[in-house]
Each structure stands twice: as structure tokens, then as C-alpha cells.
Amino acid sequence: MEAKSRINMNITHTSTATRILLIVSCVIASGCGSDLELYPVTGRVVYKDGKPFPGGGIVFQLQGAGMLLGVSGDIGENGQFELGTREPGDGAQPGTYRVAVLPPARSERDDARLPPIIDKRFTYPEESGLTYTVEKTSNEFLVEVETP
């Protein structure tokens, strides 16, 4: 059975940045050499109706690299994000990426009483259906997600 890169939506009392680091920790060890060519990647995460996704994080997982290589960024309250590989905002190397979107962290109490703000398939890079290609230039993407 294929292992999934699922983002655990039940992690409580942790920042989005901490949760992203847990997901892509092996990336730092395997793909962050100083010889990488990185290009700016920015964008917005929105719902299908155009409303901004309210915070959280985003992970781009490079395809065909022969190893797990991903980049991540925090999503602002207005849905905007900027990706980083070695450090926040430094960009991503060219290639095609599968994408996962992380909802903002919630307390255990809030998680139990509030409905999810994103369909859980978007927390799996393999199932989200979100694929973007980073070119050797400035890149800007509109990422659309849905509620359950």
C-alpha cells in the first residue's frame, strides 16, 4: 500500500510553521544544498467562490526528484503565501509539484466544536488534485480549495 504524505489535521497547540516542519523535515536534510537554483513563488489560496483561505500553511512536493523534496510557506489571513526551500520566501527550484494545504492550528476544544474549513483531501499531496509547475522565472499561483 502506498504511503500517503497526509498532513495531520488533529495536531493541536502547534503553530502552522511547526506542523509544516514536521511534514517536510526530511527535505532539509536531502534537498537544501547551496547549489539549488531557486525562483520566487507566491500566490493566494482561495475557496471556489473566491473568498481567501484564512491562514494555515501550504506545501509543494516536487515530483520525479527521486527523493522527497518540498517547499513550504505560511498562508496569511488574506490567503497569500510565499514559498521557501532553505528559508522563508527564498523560492523553489523549477519542476512540477503536487500541493497540500494545511488549515490553521486549532485548540482541541475548537477542533471538536467547529466544522472543518477545508475538505481533508487537500491535506494529501497525492489526493488534492493540485499540481503546479515552477518555471525559471517569477511564479504566481492561484490555489483553489473546497470545504467538505
**49-86 residue pLDDT tens:** 999 999 999 999 998 765 556 799 999 999 999 999 99
Cβ(88)–Cβ(73) below 8 Å = yes
Q: Residue 47 region, left (φ>0) first, then alpha (ψ -120 to 50), else beta? A: beta
Per-residue pLDDT of 118-130, as tens digits, reads 999 999 899 999 9
pTM, two decimals, is: 0.76
Q: Which three cell numbers stand for residue 120?
A: 481533508
Determine the pLDDT at residue 65.
63
Angle at 22 between CA 60 and CA 86, to 5 degrees: 55
Determine the pLDDT at residue 53.
97
Determine the pLDDT at residue 11.
38
pLDDT at 33 over 70: no
| CATH match of 16-145 with 2.60.40.10 | yes
Q: Which helix (H) or strand (E) holds 142?
A: strand 139-145
Show me where the domains of the chain are located. Answer: 16-145
